[in-house]
Each structure stands twice: as structure tokens, then as C-alpha cells.
A and B are shown apart, each in its own frame.
Chain A
């Protein structure tokens, strides 16, 4: 593998406190050297990437994606999902365990990371918390961690039983793993396909009350408080309600290790975007009210939200071309996250560029303990995204590298165009 020199770029590395013109040398999969423009010591053969006018930043990290392999490769594979990730500027993705079969074993956890899967960027498996994600029998977290799992969750099958969730938090704390909860009290959401409110009434669709999310977040926080001595880490996935963000805020004030992520669709869209039964606006948690959406923006701006995660959930076209109530939940997100974050969070709501990038790299890396990632300090993994921060362009779903095209952002204006994505020293994506 030839070394790569990225020169003439503007390096933004929030974790290292760098925001200035720098050249960098990537060698043997690591960041070998950082220097002022033209001052690199390297003399040998290297591929030169000219980043004049571009931002050079730590590769983006998405801690919530569904890669569908094994079992549902007609929707997506590890290869196609990570190709989409690379095109979106991501160099690491954490893969949810709701595959077929469920990833609840060290064997499958290892299998997903094998070179044969053809991943374009690094895949970090998140393992199931319980056997088959059935919420009954807790898996061997120490063995899962040894196999490479970075967290545990039952994702779409939230752990409702208090005793099981308590045991999960305790066992994960002992193993040094985070517990990610898809907070939904499914007893309150039976038959529901969107947010409960005036829109669901008007459309004649059963609604999910915001309390279905917030009450489970509150329950989980109570359990974390009970287990305070073990220092468990609870991470709330795809937070969508004002009340859930408020609960996380309060837990943090109380000194608990509780973090949360927000997906771009939850800080941009509301249940009005369901329009006339647009199945590309159907996901779980659902698009919420304008007040909830505003609370997501506020949480991102004031820092209570720790990460932007896409919940990339590819589905085949025919699966979404059905009655709204029958359509599967989820939208793709890997190729639109940066463009939407820069267009809205940065350009519209004035979040500094470094903070946007931190929410998409340094903070998620810290959250899952991904060592040597989310920064470009010397010695870190050579995970880099190089993009034009000013470019405005129109996203077309047909151009997606993902197998799936289920996005509500088709035709939307994006800001920031990825020129190169480098994963562990290799160019994983080269854009126009």
C-alpha cells in the first residue's frame, strides 16, 4: 500500500484542537505525520491528493446502521452498505444486530468483520443483548467483546422487562460495553405506523405516543441510577422526542453516564412530511411534531446530544410500494447525513463546522470507545474525509451506492461534497 500525502487542505480535527492549513502523511494505515503546508519530511514515493480549497477531517463515524447481511442481502450487503458509507464520508459504521439470524454470537460478530465481506470501510458489529433479541436470556458480553462487538442492543425489540434490562446494564458494565436502547414501549405502539397527533388522526393512522419513547428512557435512566456503582453506560438510540432529550439532560446533570444520538430526519422533518402516505417518511421512531423536531435541533446546538447517527435502514423498492401501514420502517441515510448536517445545522442554524464534524466523528468514537478513530492526531488510524464545505448540490437517490433508494431526501439540496474518503490508508471513495 502506497503512502498517501494530502496536501494544501484545511485540517479540522476537533478532538486534537486543530483548525488550520496542514499537510498530512498517511502510511501503513496510520497517520504518520502532520505538518504545516509544504513541510512534511516524507521524501519517498507517495500518492498525492491535492486538497486545495477543501476540508480535511477525521473520517465520519456512524454508530447506527443496518447492513442487512447476513440474511437480507436483497436489501443491502456489507459491501454495498459500506460503499454508500464511503460515498457519504464515513470511515466507520456500527452495524446493528437485527440480521437474519440475529447477531448474538462471537462467530457471527467475527464473520461480519472478515475481509471476504468486501467492506469498503471499517465495520464495528453491535451484538444483540439477549439471545435472538428475544429479551429473555442475556448473551456472553465478554466473549462478544473479544470478538469485536463494540456495544450491545436488542434494537428494534427494546428490552421491556425491568429485571432483564437491569441485568443487561450490569453485565455490559462489567464487560466494558455500552448498552444501546431503541426506546419504545411497544405495549403503547401496537398497530401504530406514525406519530400520534393531529396528523395521524387526519390520516386515519394509528399513532405512537411520544410517551412510548420517553417513558422507556426514563425507566432505563432509573435503572442506570440504581446501578450507579457499576458505572453502566446507557446510550439512547435515535432520540426523537423533547421529553426523552430532557430526560437525558437531567440524567447527565445527575452525573449518570447516559448519552444519546439524533438522526438527520428527526432534526429536519415532522409528521407533516408523511404527506399523503409517503412510505419514505415511515420509520421507527416516527417523525414527530414540530416541537419535538425543534427540541432535537436545540439538543444538538446545546450539546446534550452526543452524536448524529443515520439509522441507515435500506429496504427494497417493492417493500415500500405497499399500503403505508404495511410498509417496513426505515430510510437510508449514509449518503445524505453530511450534506444535510452542513446545509442545515451549519449553514442555517450556525453550528460551527468543527462541532458538526465532532458530532459525526470524535464524539461517536468516544461514545463507543473506538480507539485511534475520530481524530487525525499522529498515530491514529488513517481514516480521513476530504470535502468541499461550500459546494451545494442536489442529491439524487438513483445515484446512491446503496442497494436501496428509500430516502425522503431525493431531490434535496445538500451542502458539502465529498471528494475523497480514506479508510485505514486506502482511498475508499473518490468523488468528482
Chain B
């Protein structure tokens, strides 16, 4: 049977798709789609303020407030970054990870969340291997939940810190990214300017590699085009299905890495997520030949582009050591921006009033 023969000839009036199933806690950050462009701007501005604040003043902001970090997956950057951000604001944190808790004994996510709430947690930061788990936790606890990565779905604070990194380098007047030596000069000014739907007009970012399994890719492709950026997705069919282009506006698939690089002011390299491949077999030599970011490729096609990577990086796989450590690399800078962003997101979680207004 061919697809053409099976296409329905008529369309029917049918029940509408459902709206959001429940009102979120206004402090929750589950998806980048929960944030208006205006709110993104407020978070970025607040991140800059908090970063520059006297640490002794800053740590009164959330003094003795209680945050739980609930981590079902291993993490270095995200966990430490959230923890340090919370502590910088004076909050107490407790870490619950799946390998040293009753989760091992079969306790459900719902019960774990309710237990943390009973122990006084005022917000929960969740990292989980299942897409959508942050919604389940929010529905079960009605606490502010910060999604620190849910399966293959989203990682909103990563997209925000990526945006902050991009704004530090991108000059809207020349539509180029400033090379490394000059970038310190504009620090502060770039992130305090107003954010709007045209902030990244003329900016193109290539997201390259294992898009299918990447929550970083999804959050970025849903956030950056709303500020005017163009997103090019680049990768082999197995890791980048055609339907990825239907995720939102401003997203296009460009399978040729060189062509994508030549059009981009920034390139975001992604790790192949071996733990999520689910039996999929890839010829890694072939993959490297086509998609590895090498010094040669970068010099030839994008000598001024910003090189980004959410980490962990696998040197010699998606990126060469030379590029990772090179002058165009913003990889460690991204990590640093994460701290400021997460301070702002945690503050929002604990100060947003449940009735929708701000406390």
C-alpha cells in the first residue's frame, strides 16, 4: 500500500487539542516556552546584577531558604552550578541522587517529591532521564520546579546561559561575533541591553551532532529564534530526523557541516549520547569525517565564529582538543555564565508568589 493511496480525502471538525493541563507555579521553569521574551530579558538583567553584587549582600537574598537538588542522572556542571548559585544567594541545598537514596528501593518520583516537600524543600531542581518528568514532579508537589534536564526533552537553563554567552559576543551593529581579545571590553553592556524579538536578528547558530537525543538542542532551538536568531541543525539522518525542522519557526536543517559553518556566527557542538542510542549503530570514523569540528575546518569556514559546547566534551570525537582550547572557544565561559543565570532562576523560583504575582 502506498502512502498516497492511504491519504484521507476529507478533513473533519474534531475536538481541539488540550491546553496546558494545570497552572504552573510561577516560579517553575520547565521549558523555555514558559518564558516570554520579556521575562528572558528580566532574567538576563537580574543575572548580571547578581553577578556583580557584593557577595556578602548577595547571600542575604535567600538566606536559609531550602532547595532540593534531585538528580537521577550524573552531572558535573549543572549540579555544581546550581548548588553554587543557590549558596551564593544564601540558600541551603540538599542533594538527593538516585544512587544513594530510596529511589534505588523503588520509590516513585511523586513520592520522592512529596518527601522532599515534607522535609521543607521550597523548590526542587530536577535532573531526570525521562522526558516530561519535570511536569510530573510539579503536578505531584505543586512546588516550584526547575528543570535541569529531562531526558531528551529540555534543559532551559542551558539555553539561557547559551543565550547570555552569545549576547556577550554578538554585535548587532556589525552582525558579527567579536573575537576573543575584545570581548571583555563590552562585558555588562551587552547583557543589560533590552531583549526583544530582534535582538539576534542577523545571527545564525549551527547546532551540530546528536540533535535527536539532545535536550540542549531542543531548548536552544525553541529559545533563540524567538529573539530573531536563525538555527541551522546539522547531523546525520539517524541523529537528526526530518521532523526536527517542524519544531518551530526559524529552524532549518543543513546536513552539510561545511555549508552550515560558512553561514554561522556561532557553532554549538554536541556530544553523541552513547547512553541514549538504544541500539543504534554509528560508524564513528565516518561521523568524525563529516561532523568533527577541526581547526582546519574552523579556520577555513568560520574564522570568527564562536565555538560552543554544553559539555561534557569528548575530545577527538565531535571536537578536536585544539579547537576546544583555542581562541574561538567559549566552552568554559559558558560554564561561568551558567552560575549567574542559575542564581537568577533560583531567585525567581523562590520569590514568585503562587498567585501569579511577585512576592
> Are B150 and A243 in touch, CB under 8 angstroms?
no
With contact pairs A201-B244, A204-B152, A204-B153 given, residues A324 and B5 touching in the complex (Cβ less than 8 Å): no
The answer for the CA separation of A242 and B241 in the assembled complex, in Å, is: 22
> Are A298 and B8 in touch, CB under 8 angstroms?
yes
> Are A321 and B108 in touch, CB under 8 angstroms?
yes
User: Which one of B6, B18, B20 contacts A273 once the chains associate, using CB atoms below 8 Å?
Assistant: B18
The answer for the CA separation of A161 and B215 in the assembled complex, in Å, is: 37
User: Does A105 reach chain B (CB closer than 8 Å)?
Assistant: no
| Residues of chain A within 8 A of B181, CB atoms compared | none
User: Does A393 reach chain B (CB closer than 8 Å)?
Assistant: no
User: Which one of A201, A204, A276 contacts B21 once the chains associate, using CB atoms below 8 Å?
Assistant: A276
Shortest beta-carbon distance from A311 to chain B in Å: 19
- Per-position binary interface string of chain B over residues 6-38, scored 1 when its CB falls under 8 Å from any chain A CB and 0 otherwise: 111111111101101100000000000000000
| Residues of chain A within 8 A of B136, CB atoms compared | 277, 321-324
| Residues of chain A within 8 A of B128, CB atoms compared | 323
Among A18-26, A130-138, A288-296, A379-387, the stretch that binds chain B is A288-296
With contact pairs A203-B153, A298-B10, A323-B133 given, residues A243 and B17 touching in the complex (Cβ less than 8 Å): no
> Are B131 and A246 in touch, CB under 8 angstroms?
no
> Are B132 and A277 in touch, CB under 8 angstroms?
yes
User: Does B310 reach chain A (CB closer than 8 Å)?
Assistant: no
| Residues of chain A within 8 A of B247, CB atoms compared | 198, 201-202
| Residues of chain A within 8 A of B15, CB atoms compared | 268-269, 344, 412
Interface residues of B in 61-99 (CB under 8 A from A): none
What band does the interface of chain B fall in when counting residues whose beta carbon is under 8 Å from A?
35 or more
User: Does A214 reach chain B (CB closer than 8 Å)?
Assistant: yes
> Are B279 and A190 in touch, CB under 8 angstroms?
yes
| Residues of chain B within 8 A of A275, CB atoms compared | 17-18, 20-21
User: Does A349 reach chain B (CB closer than 8 Å)?
Assistant: yes
User: Does A191 reach chain B (CB closer than 8 Å)?
Assistant: yes
The answer for the CA separation of A277 and B150 in the assembled complex, in Å, is: 12
> Are B218 and A218 in touch, CB under 8 angstroms?
no
> Are B218 and A294 in touch, CB under 8 angstroms?
no
Shortest beta-carbon distance from A202 to chain B in Å: 5
- Per-position binary interface string of chain A over residues 56-95, scored 1 when its CB falls under 8 Å from any chain B CB and 0 otherwise: 0000000000000000000000000000000000000000
What band does the interface of chain A fall in when counting residues whose beta carbon is under 8 Å from B?
35 or more
| Residues of chain B within 8 A of A323, CB atoms compared | 109, 128, 130, 132-133, 136
> Are B6 and A245 in touch, CB under 8 angstroms?
yes
User: Does B318 reach chain A (CB closer than 8 Å)?
Assistant: no
The answer for the CA separation of A298 and B9 in the assembled complex, in Å, is: 8
With contact pairs A191-B278, A204-B152, A243-B3 given, residues A277 and B135 touching in the complex (Cβ less than 8 Å): yes
Q: Which residue of B lies closest to A200 (CB)?
A: B243
| Residues of chain A within 8 A of B21, CB atoms compared | 275-276, 278
Interface residues of A in 259-314 (CB under 8 A from B): 268-270, 272-273, 275-278, 290-295, 297-298
> Are B110 and A321 in touch, CB under 8 angstroms?
yes
| Residues of chain B within 8 A of A324, CB atoms compared | 130-132, 136
| Residues of chain A within 8 A of B246, CB atoms compared | 198, 201
> Are B10 and A204 in touch, CB under 8 angstroms?
no
Shortest beta-carbon distance from A234 to chain B in Å: 15
The answer for the CA separation of A202 and B211 in the assembled complex, in Å, is: 11
> Are A190 and B278 in touch, CB under 8 angstroms?
yes
Shortest beta-carbon distance from B155 to chain A in Å: 10
| Residues of chain A within 8 A of B279, CB atoms compared | 190
User: Does A325 reach chain B (CB closer than 8 Å)?
Assistant: yes
Shortest beta-carbon distance from B20 to chain A in Å: 7
User: Which one of B7, B11, B130 contacts A242 once the chains associate, using CB atoms below 8 Å?
Assistant: B7
Q: Which residue of A lies closest to B278 (CB)?
A: A191
| Residues of chain B within 8 A of A206, CB atoms compared | 278
> Are B12 and A349 in touch, CB under 8 angstroms?
yes
Q: Which residue of B lies closest to A217 (CB)?
A: B1
The answer for the CA separation of A270 and B151 in the assembled complex, in Å, is: 23
| Residues of chain B within 8 A of A204, CB atoms compared | 131-132, 150-154, 215, 218
Shortest beta-carbon distance from B293 to chain A in Å: 24
Shortest beta-carbon distance from A275 to chain B in Å: 5
> Are A243 and B18 in touch, CB under 8 angstroms?
no
- Per-position binary interface string of chain A over residues 212-242, scored 1 when its CB falls under 8 Å from any chain B CB and 0 otherwise: 0010001000000000000000000000011
User: Does B336 reach chain A (CB closer than 8 Å)?
Assistant: no
User: Does A348 reach chain B (CB closer than 8 Å)?
Assistant: yes
| Residues of chain B within 8 A of A290, CB atoms compared | 11, 14
Shortest beta-carbon distance from A100 to chain B in Å: 20
| Residues of chain B within 8 A of A278, CB atoms compared | 18, 21
| Residues of chain B within 8 A of A295, CB atoms compared | 6-8
User: Does A142 reach chain B (CB closer than 8 Å)?
Assistant: no
Interface residues of B in 319-336 (CB under 8 A from A): none
Interface residues of A in 158-216 (CB under 8 A from B): 190-191, 197-198, 201-206, 214
Q: Which residue of B lies closest to A205 (CB)?
A: B131
> Are A205 and B8 in touch, CB under 8 angstroms?
no
Most buried by B among A275, A278, A349, A412: A275
User: Does A367 reach chain B (CB closer than 8 Å)?
Assistant: no
User: Which one of B8, B9, B14, B130 contacts A326 once the chains associate, using CB atoms below 8 Å?
Assistant: B130
With contact pairs A202-B247, A270-B17, A272-B17 given, residues A322 and B1 touching in the complex (Cβ less than 8 Å): no
User: Does A247 reach chain B (CB closer than 8 Å)?
Assistant: yes
Shortest beta-carbon distance from B358 to chain A in Å: 24
> Are B132 and A276 in touch, CB under 8 angstroms?
yes
User: Which one of B6, B12, B151, B243 contacts A201 once the chains associate, using CB atoms below 8 Å?
Assistant: B243
User: Does B140 reach chain A (CB closer than 8 Å)?
Assistant: yes
> Are A197 and B243 in touch, CB under 8 angstroms?
yes
The answer for the CA separation of A136 and B7 in the assembled complex, in Å, is: 36
Interface residues of B in 266-308 (CB under 8 A from A): 278-279
Shortest beta-carbon distance from A157 to chain B in Å: 20
Q: Which residue of A lies closest to B110 (CB)?
A: A321
With contact pairs A201-B241, A204-B152, A276-B21 given, residues A242 and B131 touching in the complex (Cβ less than 8 Å): no
| Residues of chain B within 8 A of A298, CB atoms compared | 8-10
User: Does A250 reach chain B (CB closer than 8 Å)?
Assistant: yes
The answer for the CA separation of A242 and B9 in the assembled complex, in Å, is: 11
> Are B241 and A294 in touch, CB under 8 angstroms?
no
| Residues of chain B within 8 A of A344, CB atoms compared | 14-15
| Residues of chain A within 8 A of B140, CB atoms compared | 321
| Residues of chain A within 8 A of B130, CB atoms compared | 323-326
Which 9 residue pairs spanning A and B have beta carbons closest together? Answer: A277-B132, A204-B153, A204-B152, A246-B6, A323-B130, A204-B131, A272-B17, A294-B8, A198-B246
User: A204-B218, A348-B13 provided; 8 other pairs, C-beta below 8 A?
Assistant: A203-B131, A204-B150, A205-B132, A205-B153, A214-B1, A275-B17, A294-B12, A349-B12
Q: List 12 A-B contacts (CB under 8 A).
A: A201-B212, A202-B247, A204-B152, A204-B215, A205-B152, A243-B3, A245-B6, A250-B1, A270-B17, A275-B21, A278-B21, A297-B8
